[in-house]
């Protein structure tokens, strides 16, 4: 073992150099690591998430204040963490930085740091899986020297396709593991290790030929304020107990007095939403249809301004806005992750008070979710991550939050909407958590997007650029025609017990396709209620929900 004669200041410099080199390495290979994402959808962002996670840590490590370096670097990495890979990386950084700074012997510090990192990384993920970034860090933690730990990490990465079938089919290694090897080797170099001459990163060569979708940068996304002269003046919402026949009659009446009409529900209980200038007529139509409760009327100009403020500047807002919200206390508030103005508007119509921009292709940071949660004035806060790659970040945010909060582990916005069907702002946190989690399980979701690479599924093969329909079970459809991919996806989701089909149009949806598919569904599935909503989400022209 080699001892390190550096003072604490020298150790701080070593840590700063290691993080900087790791950041440089990830920046150089960011796109290649992104392309290793194996599922053929436009969410290849592992390299980006890991790099963004590192940036805050790098900034803190270069500070002149050495005494609090470990705490500052660790906190910055955790707050900057994005996606599962970012959360895991933040745990690894914390463990390594602490051990390297504190242990007298540099090599023993590295090895003990890896063991702590492997344990913390596994605990950070709700459903750990072999053949992933976790496999690589656990292999590295078995090393008996710095070089052997790096060698074991490389070997583990090269064998990840043997542990995950999706990796084997795509002919690539795990993307998070690849990014981690880059980080570990860069930090080892900063510690004076002479790495073996084994070439660069051969597994990244396999990613070079993978076509990458053009993914918009949503990091600065804002809700665009409508021209108030072109929209209805008020938003009316209420819950309604009514028969299906009565609901059809109400929809007809509403179509003549407003727009942005949303009526969703099941079992005779519906949540109704309309933009209108005729408040009385909108409410009277509901009363004629059945039993109305929970009526809410909002001036749309005020709502739009608040929505734009929340998305662009978090939930802090101005003192006036915070004061206004504090005058409307509720027992439980909901923070939801979503992208697209329409989706944000829909979530708000269900009672969500804070929207964090994020989802596929852009995972929000721990800090962004934490800021939204801390901005709530309710007794308890529920977070809807609405994406499997946001759950770990949301959990990390709640570990830093001092109040009462819970996560409903929604993996899709459709599950988020279903959960909100059971939301009652006047009920306590525990009651809402239980009811919403149960409600989220009663919906089947799907989505249509463009494949970023060729592949196969039970129905055959597809090429890069094809439209593919995905559900919780995997790829359900593929076609060169948007409408056909959407129809086949719906066929896989609807069964004889299905009552409601919801189509949420994204920014690249085709209204003609929506109408054709709606009519096709009406003819094929007797008694199925069909709703078409505007979500405005990027990359996914259609989201599908079936209840």
Query: Does the pLDDT value for residue 322 go beyond 90?
Result: no
Structural domains in the chain, CATH included, are: 8-207 (1.25.40.340), 219-298 (3.30.70.1150), 314-442 (3.40.50.510), 445-546 (3.30.1330)
Q: How far is CA 44 from CA 30, 32, 136, 210, 360, in A?
A: 10, 10, 20, 11, 9
Kindly state the average pLDDT of the residues 119-148: 87
Take residue 22 and report the two structure tokens written for it: 């790791």
Q: What's the pLDDT score for residue 372?
A: 93
Query: Does the pLDDT value for residue 98 go beyond 50?
Result: yes
Most confident of 227-241, 298-312, 318-332, 503-517: 503-517
Kindly state the average pLDDT of the residues 161-183: 89
Query: Does the pLDDT value for residue 223 go beyond 70?
Result: no
Q: What is the rounded end-to-end Cα distance, in angstroms, of the chain?
A: 62
C-alpha gyration radius of the chain = 25
Rounded to whole angstroms, how far apart are CA atoms 286 and 283?
5
Q: What's the pLDDT score for residue 208?
A: 61
Query: Does the pLDDT value for residue 280 go beyond 80?
Result: yes
* 252 burial type by CB count under 10 A (0-12 exposed, 13-18 middle, 19+ buried): exposed
Q: What's the pLDDT score for residue 359?
A: 79
Kindly state the average pLDDT of the residues 478-498: 95
Query: Does the pLDDT value for residue 268 go beyond 50?
Result: yes
Take residue 233 and report the two structure tokens written for it: 């003046």
Q: What's the pLDDT score for residue 358?
A: 86
Q: What's the pLDDT score for residue 275?
A: 74
Strand order in the sheet with 269-276: 258-266, 269-276, 234-242, 290-299
Kindly state the average pLDDT of the residues 488-508: 92
Name residue, tokens 């209840």.
Answer: 547
Query: Does the pLDDT value for residue 490 go beyond 90?
Result: yes
Percent of the chain with pLDDT over 90: 43
Q: What's the pLDDT score for residue 6?
A: 56
Report CA torsion sign: 396, 57, 74, 118: positive
Does pTM top 0.85 for this prediction? no
pLDDT digits (tens, 9 = 90+) for 46-85: 899 999 999 989 988 876 677 788 889 999 998 888 888 8
pLDDT confidence bin for 434, thresholds 50/70/90: very high
Query: Does the pLDDT value for residue 219 go beyond 50?
Result: no
Q: How far is CA 39 from CA 42, 48, 172, 331, in A?
A: 9, 17, 11, 40
Q: Using the CB atoms, write b or e for 138-158: b if 16+ within 10 Å.
A: bbbbebeebeebbbbbbebbe
- In DSSP notation, 137-170 reads HHHHTT-SSHHHHHHHHHHHHHTHHHH-HHHHHH
pLDDT confidence bin for 166, thresholds 50/70/90: confident
Q: What's the pLDDT score for residue 538?
A: 85
Kindly state the average pLDDT of the residues 403-424: 92
Q: Phi/psi of residue 26, each to 5°? A: -65, -40
Q: Residue length, the chain?
A: 547
Do residues 545 and 444 lie in contact, with contact meaning Cβ atoms separated by under 8 Å? yes
pLDDT digits (tens, 9 = 90+) for 382-410: 999 999 889 999 999 999 998 999 999 99
Q: Using the CB atoms, write b or e for 351-373: b if 16+ within 10 Å.
A: bbbbbbbbbbbbbbbbbbbbbbb
| E runs forming strands in 311-409 | 332-338, 354-357, 380-384, 404-407
Query: Does the pLDDT value for residue 361 go beyond 90?
Result: no
Instruction: List, in order, residues 6 or more apart from 102 with CB less than 8 Å away.
Output: 70, 109
What mean pLDDT is reported for the chain? Answer: 82
pLDDT digits (tens, 9 = 90+) for 16-35: 999 999 999 999 999 889 88
Take residue 511 and report the two structure tokens written for it: 């209204």
Select the more confidently predicted residue: 73 or 231: 73
Select the more confidently predicted residue: 292 or 211: 292
Percent of the chain with pLDDT over 70: 83
Instruction: List, in order, residues 6 or more apart from 298 with CB less than 8 Å away.
Output: 234, 235, 237
Query: Does the pLDDT value for residue 232 go beyond 80?
Result: no
Query: Does the pLDDT value for residue 328 go beyond 60?
Result: no
**Residue 474: left (phi > 0), alpha (psi -120 to 50), or beta?**
left
Of the candidates 449, 367, 352, 468, the one whose C-alpha atom is nearest the C-alpha of residue 410 is 352
Query: Does the pLDDT value for residue 159 go beyond 90?
Result: yes
């Amino acid at each position: 073992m080699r001892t390190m004669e550096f003072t604490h200041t020298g150790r701080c410099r070593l840590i700063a150099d290691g993080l900087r080199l790791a950041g440089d390495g990830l920046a150089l290979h960011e796109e290649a690591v992104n392309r290793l994402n194996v599922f053929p959808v436009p969410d290849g962002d592992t390299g980006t998430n890991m790099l963004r996670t590192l940036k805050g840590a790098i900034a803190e490590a270069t500070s002149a204040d050495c005494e609090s370096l470990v705490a500052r670097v660790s906190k910055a990495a955790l707050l900057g963490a994005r996606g599962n890979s970012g959360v895991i990386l933040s745990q690894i950084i914390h463990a390594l930085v602490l051990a390297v700074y504190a242990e007298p012997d540099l090599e023993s510090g590295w090895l003990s740091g890896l063991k702590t990192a492997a344990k913390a990384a596994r605990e950070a993920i709700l459903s750990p899986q072999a053949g992933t970034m976790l496999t690589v860090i656990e292999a590295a933690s078995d090393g008996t020297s710095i070089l052997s730990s790096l060698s074991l990490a490389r070997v583990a990465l090269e064998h990840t396709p043997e542990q995950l079938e999706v990796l084997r089919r795509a002919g690539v290694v795990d993307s998070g593991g690849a990014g981690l090897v880059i980080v570990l080797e860069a930090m080892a170099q900063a510690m004076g290790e002479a790495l073996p001459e084994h070439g660069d990163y051969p597994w990244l060569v396999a990613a070079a030929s993978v076509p990458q979708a053009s993914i918009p940068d949503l990091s600065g996304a804002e809700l665009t304020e409508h021209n108030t002269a072109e929209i209805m003046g008020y938003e009316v919402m209420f819950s309604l107990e009514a028969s299906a026949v009565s609901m059809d009659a109400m929809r007809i009446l509403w179509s003549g007095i407003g727009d942005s009409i949303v009526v969703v529900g099941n079992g005779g209980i519906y949540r109704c939403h309309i933009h209108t200038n005729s408040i009385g007529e909108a409410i009277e139509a509901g009363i004629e249809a059945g039993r109305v409760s929970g009526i809410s009327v909002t001036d749309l100009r005020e709502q739009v301004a608040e929505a734009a403020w929340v998305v662009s500047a978090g939930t802090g807002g101005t003192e006036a806005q915070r004061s206004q919200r504090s005058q409307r206390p509720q027992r439980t508030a909901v923070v939801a992750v979503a992208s697209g103005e329409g989706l944000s508007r829909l979530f708000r119509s269900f009672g969500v008070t804070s929207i964090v921009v994020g989802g596929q292709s852009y995972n929000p940071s721990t800090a962004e979710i934490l800021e939204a949660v801390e901005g709530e004035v309710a007794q308890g806060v529920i977070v809807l991550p609405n994406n499997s790659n946001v759950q770990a970040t949301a959990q990390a945010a709640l570990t830093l939050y001092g109040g009462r909060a819970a996560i409903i582990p929604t993996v899709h916005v459709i599950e988020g909407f279903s959960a909100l069907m059971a939301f009652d702002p006047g009920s306590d946190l525990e009651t809402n958590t239980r009811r919403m989690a149960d409600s989220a399980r009663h919906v089947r979701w799907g989505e249509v997007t463009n494949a970023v690479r060729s592949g196969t599924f039970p129905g055959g093969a597809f090429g890069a650029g094809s439209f593919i329909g995905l559900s919780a079970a995997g790829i359900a459809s593929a076609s060169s025609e948007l409408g056909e991919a959407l129809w086949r996806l719906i066929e896989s989701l609807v069964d004889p017990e299905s009552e409601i089909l919801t189509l949420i149009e994204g920014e690249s949806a085709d209204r003609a396709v929506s109408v054709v598919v709606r009519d096709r569904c009406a003819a094929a599935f007797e008694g199925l209620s069909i709703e078409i909503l505007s979500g405005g989400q990027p990359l996914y022209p259609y989201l599908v929900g079936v209840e």
